[in-house]
Structures are given as C-alpha cells and as structure tokens.
Structure 1
Amino acid sequence: MEKASVTLTIKFLLLQYLFALSIAQDFDFFYFVQQWPGSYCDTKQSCCYPTTGKPAADFGIHGLWPNYNDGTYPSNCDPNNSYDESKISDLISRMQQDWATLACPSNSGSTFWSHEWDKHGTCSESNLDQHSYFKAALNLKSKFDLLQILQNEGINPDGGSYSLSSIKSAITNAIGYTSYIECNSDADGNNQLYQIYLCVDKSGSNLIKCPIFPNGQCASTIQFPSF
C-alpha cells in the first residue's frame, strides 16, 4: 500500500506540473506597456520617486503581459517560480533607469518587478525564463523610443493638449502598427496621456498587429503633462 500511495502522489504531482506548464504555454501574444511618469504622478493620489532618485522624463516600462486573443489573460501561473533578483543582477541598473517604480512609499523597485514577474512573467516561462523576460522588455524599450517618436511630430510633454488621433498616427507611422492609448485623469479631472500598449509576438521580440485592444477610451483631445 505504501508503494501505491507513493506512486499516486508522484502521479498527482506530475499532473500538477504538466497542468501548470500547459497554462504557462497557453497564451497568444504580449502587451508591451509603457507609462508616462508625468501622468502617473499628476493625479490626486500623486506618486513617490524611487530610492534611486527621480526617474528620467521618459516613458517607463510598466510590463510585458501575456494575453489571449479573446482579451482575457493568464496570471500567477507558477507559484513555485518566484521572483529571484539574483537571476537578473546584471540588468538591475537598466531596470532602475527604464522600469522605475513610482509607487508609495519610495522603494528600490524590487516590489514592482517581483509583482510583474509573479503575475505576468510566470505565464511566459515556457518561452522566456526570468532573465530573458526582463531583458526582452528592456530591449523593446530601447528599440521603440516612444517619446522621440512623439516629439518628432511636435507632440511634447509640455502640459499642452493634443488630439488623440495625432498621437496614434505618429506612433503608427513610426512603427507600422496601431497602438492602444490609455488615459487617466489629473487632479482636476482632465484626460491625459497615461500608457501606450504595443503588441508583441510570443518570443517577446517582434511587434505584431494587435489581435484585440483593451477596453476604455480617451477623450478626442488629451493633455501630455510635463515631468
């Protein structure tokens, strides 16, 4: 009976592992999301700069999120594969620059990165291990300079208002694909440019046409606050 019990336990654990692996493999594309820090901070809630100091006035990475073509997404796919900063020690300086946290209270960013890996990264681990996941996001950030793309078309983070269509057109003309623009509200309730979503293939390296966009809509004219 003991042998039978051990065998059943092993089979159960194996099935759990295979189930977790199948979930991790089962996604269709990534959303690569970059956030404008001025809009994050210019709200009633405000923000806190990281312990490393005020981030650059540039779009920062929010995350690289596995998604399904129907608009749903997997999350927290492997609780046994927690964030381990020692695996990405060579990337930390780049992450502090390009993937900074603005959450309060001030912190180094580890809590933010841990959340992103545990919730989203573990669902991509069949394609990208932890180091590859964070490196892929950093490489995408370097490859697609959204601030420069917008500034090339005279769209600057100067607190002015710009048409949503001009922002979307500037990005589409530069990268060849339609992006999704997410807005939030400033302390006075004005619509402002908050996040930009690009769609990426399962390798985490190539832009693709977005199979679906998130819900939500911006006003026809939105502010681009300074930072």
Structure 2
Amino acid sequence: MWSTSKYLLLAAVVVCLSSCFQLYSQLSSLNISTLIHHQFKARAPPPRISFYKLSLQWPPAACHGTLSCKPPIPSDFTIHGIWPQDSNDEPIPPYNKNNPCTPKTPTPPTDLPIKLRPIEGNLTSKWPNLIDGLNLTANYQFWEYEWKTHGTCSDYPDDPLTYFDSALKLRLGIKTIVRFGRQTSWTVQQVADEVFDVLKAYPQIACNLNPSRTQKQLWEVRLCYDRPNPRQLPHILINCTNKLRVSKGKIIGICKSLSDTIFFP
C-alpha cells in the first residue's frame, strides 16, 4: 500500500515538472520572440529619400501670424527649408547615431558659420530668420536648426554648403510664384492652380491664422523636386503628392479643404 502511494506521488511530481517545463519553454520562446521583435523594430532602416520639398514662406503672413518679427519684413517669398521626404510625403527623421540614415558622419551644426561663409550674403537675403532677419546670430540659429532637422539626413550630410546652396539656386531661379495682388482672397485650389500655371507643377499649400484667429492666410507655398542623381542638385519640379499638409494620411494644419478661402496679406 505504501509502495503504491509512493509511486503515485512520484508520478504526480513528474507530471507537474513536465507541465512547468512546457510553460517555461513557452514563456522563454515568447520572451525571445518579443525581444527579437523589439530589436528588429528598433533597427528598422530609416526611410529612403523619395523627393525634396522646398518650403517658401510669405513673410507678411508669417509675421502677421505665428511670428513676432523685427522690421524690415521682406515682401517676397523667402526660404523656410529644403526637406527630404519619403514616398509617403513624411519628412525623413533627423540623424540618429544609434540608427544612422547615412554611413557618413554629418557635419555638426556648430561648423556652419565656417562652412556657409561663401554664401552667407545670399542666405541672409533669401533664407532669413524672419524674427530678426538682419541679425546674423539669429540667422545661424535658424540655419543650424534646419540643418540638424533636415540636412543631416539629406543627400549631403557632410556638405552643408551644397545642401544650403541647392535651396538658394532653386529660389534664385524662380522669378514669379503667384501673379495675383496682395490684400486679396482665394481658395486653396485657386492658389494651387495659379502656381501650376506659372511653374507647371502643383505645389503644397500651408495656411496660418492672423493674430485675432479670424482669418486663414496663405503662409507657405511648398514646391516638390525629384531626388537628384549623384553629384546633381535638385532641379526637376514635380507635382507635390498632397496639395495640403498631410501626416500619416490625414490632413493637418489650418486649411482642411481645397475649397477653404485664404487671404494673401
């Protein structure tokens, strides 16, 4: 009798140990799979550049909207930035050394005052920091931000002179963007059609609000350029994928429809 109980107890222990081992194996497999998944996700390659977006801001709207600007306020479109975009029209993220977008080491932003000296005058004129456009220190703060955010994962991560000069060449090559006069109102679609008539490519339109938040304004016209071949600068205008600002497939920003009316201050 005693011997039978002992064997039954031993069998129960074996069954329990077997079940525990199976559970441990399943948990271990799950943890390893989860770890591999997270590591793979963290190491997913950065998105590939599909095209470039040249963002041109209208200073009277920018300074009569979100910015507080010191005069003189330019009365011509100035550069906000030139941004590498992926195939979904999302900005390429800034350089991250833990998951780099390029094998090259990007030029640090602190080196820009030396690297950009040959084009400093044109940058001050065409790519000013509208908050204080005659202040070179303020301008460099703006350029350093654009470089860190967009330039370090462009096709020129170790060549800021080429990166900034590419935007200057594009801007200097455009004499007219819109032909309608100031203090007029248009729909977003009409502005896009006007730019198409002038430049033969559809832009992306960005809006802001006046200080009293009662009127939508034409803030930026963004032009899209095909990604250049090696050793070339962006130069081929293409239709922008979206006429309004879009993120993750949804319209963002002040203007939500192509029928929205916007003022050109």
TM-score for both structures, normalised by structure 1: 0.76
Please name the residue that 1:198 is paired with. 223
Q: 2:69 aligned with 1:48, yes or no?
A: yes
Given that 1:180 and 1:197 are in contact with CA atoms closer than 8 Å, whether structure 2 keeps it comes out as: yes
1:170 aligns with 2:190: no
Q: 3-state DSSP class of the match of 2:115?
A: helix
CA distance in 1, matches of 2:225, 2:242: 12
**Deviation by residue 1:152-198 (Cα, 9 ceiling, x = unmatched):** xxx122x2322333221111012111111111000122000001111
Aligned pair count? 194
Q: Which residue of 2 aligns with 1:188?
A: 212
Paired with 2:91 and 2:199, the residues of 1 have a C-alpha distance of: 25
User: How far apart are 1:56 and its partner, in Å?
Assistant: 2.6
**1:55 Cα deviation from its structure 2 partner:** 4.3
More RCO (CA 8 Å, sep 6+): 1
Give the C-alpha shift of residue 205 in structure 1. Answer: 2.0
> In structure 1, what is the Cα distance between the partners aligned to 2:133 and 2:194?
35
Q: Which residue of 2 aligns with 1:82?
A: 108
Correspondence 1:101-116 to 2 at 5 A: 101-103=129-131, 107-108=135-136, 109-116=139-146
Task: Name structure 2 gaps, 5 residues minimum.
Answer: 1-42, 98-105, 229-233, 247-251
Instruction: Tell me: CA distance 1:164–1:76, structure 2 relative to 1, closer, same or farther (3 Å).
Output: closer
Structure number with greater Rg is: 2
Q: 1:127 to 1:76 in 2, by over 3 A?
A: closer
Counterpart check, 1:91 vs 2:119? yes
Q: TM-score, normalised by structure 2?
A: 0.66
Instruction: Call closer, same or farther: CA 1:106–1:91 in 2, change over 3 Å.
Output: closer
Q: Which runs of 5+ in 1 are unaligned?
A: 1-18
Change (3 A) 1:143 1:78: farther
User: What is the CA–CA distance in structure 2 between the aligned matches of 1:58 and 1:138, rounded to whole Å?
Assistant: 14
> In structure 2, how many angstroms separate the alpha carbons of the residues matched to 1:115 and 1:46?
16
The answer to whether the aligner puts 1:60 opposite 2:100 as a matched pair is no
Give 1:78 deviation, angstroms.
Answer: 5.9
Q: CA RMSD in A?
A: 2.6
Q: Does 1:224 align with 2:246?
A: no
2:208 match: secondary structure: strand
Task: Find 1:209's aligned residue among 225, 231, 239.
Answer: 239
Structure 1 position 201, deviation (Å): 1.8
* Counterparts of 2:165 and 2:132, CA distance in 1: 25
Is the Cα contact below 8 Å between 1:181 and 1:193 reproduced in 2?
yes
Q: Is 1:160 the equivalent of 2:184?
A: yes
The equivalent of 1:33 in structure 2 is: 55
